[in-house]
Amino acid sequence: MRVTALYRYPVKSLGGELLTSARPAERGLEDDRRWMLIDADGTFVSQRTHPHLARFRAATYGTHGLRIFRVADGELLVDLPDARPPADSTSRVTVWDDTFRAPTIRSRQLETALSLPGVRLAYMHEDVDRPVDPRYARNAERVSFADGYPYLITTTASLQDLSRHYGESLDPRRFRPNIIVETTEPYTEDHWSVIEVGNHAFYLPKPCARCVMITNDPDNGQRDPAVMRQLAAHRKVGNKVLFGMNAIWKGGAGDLRVGDMVTAIT
C-alpha cells in the first residue's frame, strides 16, 4: 500500500491544498485547520450551515501569510500577510463542545469575500490547548480546529466502492481526508488500529461519523443528498454513517510524501 494523496485545510471548512509532501505533528499536518471562521459570539462557522463556503480555498504563504481564493477561477480574494496574531490577545471561541481562548483576526476583506458580515478568523497559536477526546487519546494529545481528531485517513478502494453505488466517480475532497491510501479491498481500514506511513506511525482510534458536509460539491457547495443516502445504505452503524478513519500521530521523523509505503501493524 502507498500514499496516493495528501491534503491540508488551513481554514476549517474552506477548501484546502493538495500536497506532494507535508510535515506531521501532534495537532495534524503542519498548518492544517489552524484557522477557523467564527461568528460574533465566537462559535465556529462551517459548511454545515453555510455550504457556499465550499467555493473558497485557503493556502498559507511565507512565515505568517494566509490567502483565500475563489475555487471557480483561482482569483485571490483575501490576503492576510500577518495571519498569526500573538497569544497575548485572545477571544473566547467554541468548536462543538470545546470552549477556549484563541487569538482572532478581523478583516473587512474576509467578510465581503465570504458574504458573512461579522465573521472573524480564530488562530490556533501553540499556546492554545484543545485536547483530543480522552476516551480515545493515548498521551493527552492535542488537536487543531478539526472536528475531533488531528488526522483523517481514507482509501482508494473504499472511495471507488461508494462511487460505484452512487453511480459516478465521487471527488475525494467531499470527505476532507488528510491521507489517502491506495488499497484493493474496500473498507480494509476498518480493521487498522496502528499503521506506519513512511517514517511515521499513527493510531486509528475509531471510524469517522459523517455529516451533511459530504453532500456538498467541493467546488460550488451544491448539495446532493444521494451521496449520504448511498453511504448510509451500506455504512450505517446504529445512528452513525461511517467513512474513513480518525487518526492520531504516534511519532516519526521527516515529511510524509506521496508514494510513501503504508503498512498496517495491527
The tens digit of pLDDT for each residue in 180-230 reads 999 999 999 999 999 999 999 999 999 999 999 999 999 999 999 999 999
Residue 126 DSSP code: T
* E strand or H helix at 162: helix 156-166
Measured between alpha carbons, how far is residue 20 from residues 7, 109, 154, 226 in Å? 9, 30, 17, 32
Q: Convert the pLDDT of each residue in 220-236 to its tens digit.
A: 999 999 999 999 999 99
pLDDT at 177 over 90: yes
Q: For the chain, where are the alpha helices, taking DSSP H only?
A: 108-114, 156-166, 226-235
pLDDT at 90 over 90: no
* Mean pLDDT of all residues belonging to the chain: 94
Compute the average pLDDT of residues 87-116.
Answer: 92
Coil, strand, or helix at residue 62? coil
pTM of the model: 0.94
Residue 159 DSSP code: H
Q: Quote the pLDDT of residue 138.
A: 81
Give the percent of the chain with pLDDT over 90.
Answer: 89
> Which of 53, 210, 216, 56 minimizes the C-alpha distance to 147?
210
155 — pLDDT class (breaks 50, 70, 90): very high
